[in-house]
Amino acid sequence: LKTNLSGGTASALIIDACRRTGINPKELHPVVSDDHYRTLTEAGLNENQIKLSERFPINEVAFVRACLDQLQQRAVIEAVDYPSTNFDTAAAEIETHFKHDRHLTYIFPEEARLLYALAHITTPKRVAFLGSYYGYWAAWALAAMESKSDVALLDVDPSVGSLASENLMNLRRGNGARSITTDAIIFMNQADDESYDWIVLDAEGPKCGLPYDQTDKALYGVMLEAALPKLRPGGLLICHNILLSHHNDDPYFANMIRNNKRQFYKFDQLVRDNFSATVTFPTTEGVGVYRR
Ligand SMILES: C[S@@+](CC[C@H](N)C(=O)[O-])C[C@H]1O[C@@H](n2cnc3c(N)ncnc32)[C@H](O)[C@@H]1O
């Protein structure tokens, strides 16, 4: 029953485990039964992957549409339409040409679609991805952007940076987009003030061994501190892993939410003081969109 899949999307890994064990992924929402839990564990999934599958939207398109409606109501975006045929073409291209090697990404389908839609709707010309990993989330935004847009994929790890470069080339996005191996905090400190339309935050520090505000997602606070003056008024901050609510009181997620809130203490303060709108979405791993 074990999977041979070494890299790819966590979503594909979970769907593959369901297919091999005859489980309909839609049955995993809102709660994975004990039987399914045991079967999926035997199929090679870990606890986090099984628990996250409880959060898969039943209908990805409708879910993203509801997110966009909410952003429009909050005056974060002015329109909600994006071209679904172009999205399908982009998805097929990413599926075919994007290389994961041994890496696994926890960007889930609705999170990819939401970023694509936001890029189409808000047409950012200058974007920085802080903690871009090997470029998977960026690939979805790039698919909806003009090829001459200035897009910096910043990651401190050279091995994921070179894979991101390869992916930009494979997706023929070499023009305005580049992958840079650097500490994103240093890069943003040196950038021009208010020159970015979007800052996308998905960096993650080591789980321990450093001062608390440089570990795990607590890093968002110091990263935002550096990036904030570079985001133009009206620009968007878009963050992954803003998981702050769950559809029931499951202790697994209650613990995760408590830990996230603790890690985001500095980030939250900066957001409260500097952004006119804050909208968070219960995507599989949580996404936050903030208007400067
Ligand atoms: C593992 S990714 C996050 C994964 C992402 N949520 C996904 O599922 O695809 C976080 C990245 O942040 C990067 N990172 C950590 N500290 C950084 C820093 N100071 N500057 C730039 N990148 C950093 C790590 O190297 C790592 O590639």
Question: Does the pLDDT at position 2 exceed 60?
Answer: no
pLDDT of residue 253: 98
Q: Is 105 in the pocket of ligand 1 (CB under 6 A)?
A: yes
pLDDT of residue 5: 54
Instruction: State the pLDDT confidence band at 255, using cuts at 50, 70 and 90.
Output: very high
Instruction: State the pLDDT confidence band at 183, using cuts at 50, 70 and 90.
Output: very high
pLDDT of residue 206: 94
CA nearest neighbour of 47 among 255, 279, 267: 255
Say how many Å lie between the CA of residue 133 and the centre of ligand 1: 5
Q: Is 112 in the pocket of ligand 1 (CB under 6 A)?
A: no
Please state the rounded mean pLDDT for residues 67-78: 98
Looking from the CA of residue 133, the nearest atom of ligand 1 is 27
- Per residue in 125-158, pLDDT (tens digit) is 999 999 999 999 999 999 999 888 999 999 999 9
The best mutation among 202, 215, 283, 287 to test binding of ligand 1, ranked by most ligand atoms within 8 Å of the C-beta, falls on 202
Percent of the chain surpassing pLDDT 90? 95
DSSP string, the chain: ------SEEHHHHHHHHHHHHT--GGGGSS---HHHHHHHHHTT--HHHHHHGGG--S-HHHHHHHHHHHHHHTTS-S-----HHHHHHHHHHHHHH---TT-EE---HHHHHHHHHHHHHH--SEEEEET-TTSHHHHHHHTTS-TTSEEEEEES-HHHHHHHHHHHHHTT-TTTEEEEES-HHHHHHHSPTT-EEEEEE-----SSSS-GGGSGGGHHHHHHHHHGGGEEEEEEEEEE------SS--HHHHHHHHHHHHHTHHHHHHHHHH-SEEEEE--SS-EEEEE-
pLDDT of residue 3: 45
Q: Is 154 in the pocket of ligand 1 (CB under 6 A)?
A: yes
Instruction: State the pLDDT confidence band at 1, using cuts at 50, 70 and 90.
Output: very low
Say how many Å lie between the CA of residue 131 and the centre of ligand 1: 4
pLDDT of residue 174: 64
Question: Which residue's CA is the closest to the ligand 1 atom numbered 18?
Answer: 183
Q: Is 13 in the pocket of ligand 1 (CB under 6 A)?
A: no
Q: Is 185 in the pocket of ligand 1 (CB under 6 A)?
A: yes
Instruction: State the pLDDT confidence band at 238, using cuts at 50, 70 and 90.
Output: very high
- 149: which residues sit within 8 A by CB, 6+ positions away? 124, 125, 126, 127, 142, 176, 177
Question: Does the pLDDT at position 216 exceed 90?
Answer: yes
pLDDT of residue 284: 98
Question: Does the pLDDT at position 272 exceed 80?
Answer: yes
Looking from the CA of residue 106, the nearest atom of ligand 1 is 8
Say how many Å lie between the CA of residue 224 and the centre of ligand 1: 14
Task: Report phi then psi at 144, rounded to 5.
Answer: -105, 5
pLDDT of residue 111: 98
Question: Does the pLDDT at position 4 exceed 60?
Answer: no
Percent of the chain surpassing pLDDT 70? 98
pLDDT of residue 219: 97
Give the pTM: 0.96
Say how many Å lie between the CA of residue 287 and the centre of ligand 1: 16
pLDDT of residue 6: 74
